[in-house]
Amino acid sequence: MTEKTIPDIVVSRLPVYLQTLQLFQKEGKTITSSQELGEKSCISAAQVRKDLSFFGEFGKQGSGYDIGYLSSQIRSILKMDRVWDVALIGGGDLGHAIARYPGFAERGFRIKYVFDSDPSKIGQKVGSHTIVSTENMADTIKKSGIIVAMITVPSRAAQSVVDQLVQAGVKAILNYAPVLIDVPDDVRVETVSPILQLEHMTYYL
């Protein structure tokens, strides 16, 4: 693998392929083709072949891809073959929904702490978690070695929370606040943007 030459847009499609492959596995399939994988992933077959070729030879001409093998390879490439501990900051409605949703843990993202700055929320139970104060957040995160975080704080607080997370060593942040966040070059932020997705669709209405 030559990580340095792989365009980010290719990397961004790997989780999509993985999701489709896992669906095929659930359906009991063992072999797939770039046509089939592409169709179900809404990506062209040629693009699928080109994307996967960045990471080596996964399929043989004419015989298709072994779903189990390809899926485990993509999991390994994406570092999804391990469990990531996650800090969740923001214990409001959305934070509750996330903390109680089993889907993240099923895909290897285990929420370890739920932080909030609101004294009335601290000590509250959320699923199997107890909300803890953001006061010692940086210390707690540093000590536990957590490098993945999700934030569901109000927009006005998002940048300052992110700054604290970066200070604490966090390298990947999933941001649910509808704002643009500045981070150093070695930290990545992805923003969950349902409103932008809705606006994309209304164009066609």
Applying CB under 8 A, does 49 fall inside the site for its own copies?
no
Residue by residue, DSSP assigns the chain as --GGGS-HHHHHHHHHHHHHHHHHHHTT--EE-HHHHHHHHTS-HHHHHHHHHTT---EETTTEEEHHHHHHHHHHHTT-SS-EEEEEE--SHHHHHHHH-THHHHTTEEEEEEEES-TTTTT-EETTEEEEEGGGHHHHHHHHT--EEEE---HHHHHHHHHHHHHTT--EEEE-SSS-----TT-EEEE--HHHHHHHHHTT-
Residue 83 within binding range of its own copies, rule CB under 8 A: no
Out of 5, 15, 51, 146, point to the residue binding its own copies (CB under 8 A). Answer: 15
How many residues of this chain bind its own copies (CB under 8 A)? 53
Q: Considering only residues 145-184, where is the footprint of its own copies by CB under 8 A?
A: 147-148, 150, 171-172, 174, 176, 178-180
Which residues here bind its own copies, judged by CB under 8 A?
A: 11-12, 14-16, 18-20, 23, 40-41, 77-80, 84, 92-94, 96-97, 100-101, 103-104, 107, 109, 147-148, 150, 171-172, 174, 176, 178-180, 188, 190, 192-205
